[in-house]
Structure 1
């Protein structure tokens, strides 16, 4: 059975690939679950996204988890991530600043394998 660490690595890897190949920044929990092969299991991604935050922090990368939002807020333009992401960044101003970092970051410069290998050490 795959662990949360495995799914966190998949989430990080798939998000970086997405940013390297498209202009898409925000992704819904449902779309993310489908991207990593867990279609319909979007409600089970919380612990893995916490680990993604840790991966990003250790690698000094923008927090990818801030751009994973629920489908309804994405459609309405509110772009609300999880309450945990909001809390981690100290409220809306800090959260929006971090989302801006994700948006502006050059993801083409990220070598996923090196980031994940560095995390394991």
Structure 2
């Protein structure tokens, strides 16, 4: 008996189950991985804009490495690995950005404090 004849004799519930399996297989698409990579790219760009390479080089480097690996996994159609790596890259990029912003703020605070001290010294001299 050929496959078409078997499908014709299959009860509707069986056909519905086969359709469901096909639908689930279609849902395992690269879209979630692509979205995760896009989000990680944006987070990485924000980190770079915050001078994370200067103030937080390690998490910046980790974010870039994981993002590159995620893109490679996506091209190899390893969608789950690509999504996971992209999510990790996004976390690393956010850490790099927040660390850089914090370090930069501390540096600016120290500069302001030094300027205040210089002004105090100058005012005592006069």
Is the TM value for this pair above 0.5? no
Q: By percentage of residues, which structure has more helix?
A: 2
TM norm structure 2: 0.25
Q: How high is the TM-score relative to the length of structure 1?
A: 0.26
Instruction: Flag the structure with larger Rg.
Output: 2
